Copies of this chain bind each other. A is one copy, B any other.
Amino acid sequence: MRNLSLLTDLYEFSMANGFHKDLPDTRATFDLFFRKVPDQGSFVITAGLQQIIDTLPLSFTPVDIAYFRSLHLWDEDFLNFLATFKFDCHLQAIPEGTPVFPREPLITVEGPIAQAQLLETLLLTILNHESLIATKARRMTFAAGDRPIMEFGARRAQGADSAVYGARAAVIGGVSSTSNMLAGEKFSIPVAGTMAHSWIEAYPDELTAFRQWAKFYPDNSALLVDTYDVLTSGIPNAITVFKELRASGHEPVGIRIDSGDIASLSRKARAMLDDAGFPKAKITISNALDENIIESLLHQGAPIDNFGIGEKLITSASSPVLSGVYKLAAIEQDGKLIPKIKISDSREKVTIPGKKQVYRLYREGTNKAFADLIALADEPITDQHHLDVLDSNPLSVSKVQPLNSFDAKPLLAPVDLDQKAVSPLDIQAFSKQRIAELPDETKRLTKPDSYHVYMTPQLAKLQDDLIKGK
């Protein structure tokens, strides 16, 4: 595992130096949360916690310390602190794969303020990225229904980690496999792929190229049929080779189309394959797809069995940023907890103060979630049968609503830094269960119904008091 402790903005160190000197005994709680869901969706699939666990605890090497010294910004006292501090931050987090909503703390960090401050950039970089891709993958797999999606965006990813951790996040979000061998090796996720156009071009003609492929991979013959012309060359040649394969006791896998009018080509290809006696040969499509094109193709009845998706998944191209933030929620001085708030010109950006817990609320005795609730960590919630709540959305009218007959399950749980990695496929299964609990209206891709995230009156009052400077 690479040491990413230094994946941190300079100002975190400058602040940590000041905190170390000014507030050496102050502990702080920070919340990591987001305000907006990418693609105007209603929820995010949280991902990235395992990489955070693998990266922690923070530690700096002698090379790092020498680098700090070379900047002439900080004194030896602080450099010594960086070289020797005992990592004493405690994380709580919502498990990877959980659908989460705006304003909910996804990770809370409690620890000495200098250390907790130093975690900001690292935690955000990892969680923002992986949650973004898991969320995009979930949108695409929702559009594809039960048709498998293969992730193959590595070549258009924003660097190696974008490709590798992006592939893992895509599996969490529902894709079946990746083309990325490094991700396959590292996370034990299924790898898949067929051939590129260069295979076809390297031979004198397409038929020879297909025959040679079938010779090497008689049971894995997914043939790329659009190097020259799909209908007059690619599919006829594929059928010739499929017949030869069958004659030698093998069944073909199918074809892949990577360009052209997919709706029309896939229909014609299906008819040609069926007529030739290959109704089970699968049609895979892979031409600059996203969730909207997938929905449109399937709505047109295109007979597609599998999708291969590249750049629009691995970069979440239509919405390439998840804007998670990391905000101070409370400090603890001389055993006293002092809740903290950031007040902004914009009402939308006011933070929710205090040490908090997030609950998912279910209709009593069912697994039907109907809302989430943000409460102070020490409020009793799970054993209540009646509760007054307010909308946590700062742009909504704050009207008290009574809730009855619900079960409340806490989402934030302590993070064990020695926790062993779980398979991304298991996280995908967990994620599907959590998503199944949500109302259908919140899951549609276009104009989903918003899901309520409430807050308790006690938390609302604390926020209000701090805004008013009480």
Which residues of A come within 8 Å of B, CB atoms? Answer: 2, 4, 6-15, 17-19, 21-23, 26, 28, 30, 63-64, 67, 71, 73, 113, 117, 120-121, 124-126, 128-130, 132-133, 152, 154-166, 179-182, 184-185, 191-199, 201-202, 212-213, 216-217, 220, 226-230, 259-260, 311, 315-317, 320-324, 326-328, 331, 340-346, 349
When chains A and B are docked, how far (Å) is the Cα of A343 from the Cα of B227? 6
Contacts of A340 in B (CB 8 A): 201-202
CB atoms of A124 and B227 under 8 A apart = no
A197 to B12, CA, bound (A): 11
Evaluate whether A323 and B156 lie within 8 angstroms (CB atoms) in the complex, with A213-B18, A345-B259 already known: yes
Q: A124-B155, A193-B11 are in contact. Are A321 and B315 (CB under 8 A)?
A: yes
A316, B311: Cα distance in complex, Å: 14
* Contact, CB under 8 Å: B11 / A194: yes
Shortest CB distance A343–B (Å): 6
Across-interface contacts of A162 in B (CB, < 8 A): 129, 158-159, 161-162
Smallest beta-carbon distance A451→chain B, Å: 25
Q: Quick one: which of B64, B125, B126, B195 contacts A11, CB cutoff 8 A?
A: B195
A331–B155 CA distance with the chains assembled, in angstroms? 23
Q: Which of B22, B181, B199, B259 contacts A9 (CB 8 A)?
A: B181
Contacts of A166 on B, CB cut-off 8 Å? 158-159
7 inter-chain pairs at a CB distance below 8 angstroms, sorted by A residue, are: A9-B179, A9-B181, A11-B194, A15-B195, A159-B161, A230-B345, A316-B320
Within the assembled complex, what's the spacing in Å between the Cα atoms of A11 and B196? 7
Which residue of the partner chain B has the closest CB to A258?
A: B344
Residues of B within 8 A of A160 (CB): 2, 4, 7, 125-126, 159, 161
Pair B30/A198 contact, Cβ less than 8 Å: yes
B181 touches A6 (CB 8 A): yes
Query: Is A15's CB under 8 angstroms from B159's CB?
Result: no
> What separation, in Å, do the CA atoms of A17 and B193 have in the docked complex?
14
Query: Which chain B residues border A345 with CB–CB below 8 Å?
Result: 226, 229-230, 259-260
A67 touches B185 (CB 8 A): yes
Closest to A311 in B: B321
Contact A157 B129 (CB under 8 A): yes
Contact B26 A156 (CB under 8 A): no
Q: Is the CB of B344 within 8 A of A7?
A: no
Q: How far is the CA of A315 from the CA of B158 in the complex (A)?
A: 8
Chain B residues in 8 Å Cβ range of A2: 2, 160
User: Do B331 and A156 touch (CB < 8 A)?
Assistant: no
| Known contacts A7-B180, A8-B181, A162-B159; A346/B259 CB under 8 A | yes
Contact of A179 among B11, B195, B227 (CB under 8 A): B11
Cα of A352 to Cα of B150 in the assembled complex, Å: 30
**CB pair A156 B346 closer than 8 Å:** no
Contact present for A328 and B182 (CB under 8 Å) = no
Q: A185 touching B6 by the CB < 8 A rule? A: yes
| Max count, chain B CB within 10 A of own CB: residue among A2, A71, A125, A162 | A125
Residues of B within 8 A of A12 (CB): 196
Residues of B within 8 A of A129 (CB): 157-159, 162
Contact of A158 among B13, B14, B230, B320 (CB under 8 A): B320
Q: Which 9 A-B pairs have the closest CB atoms?
A: A159-B161, A11-B193, A124-B155, A10-B193, A9-B179, A158-B158, A158-B162, A320-B320, A6-B182
B contact residues around A185 at 8 Å (CB): 6, 63-64, 67
Residues B202 and A331 in contact, CB atoms below 8 Å apart: yes
Tell me, in angstroms, the Cα distance from A12 to B194 when the chains sit together. Answer: 9
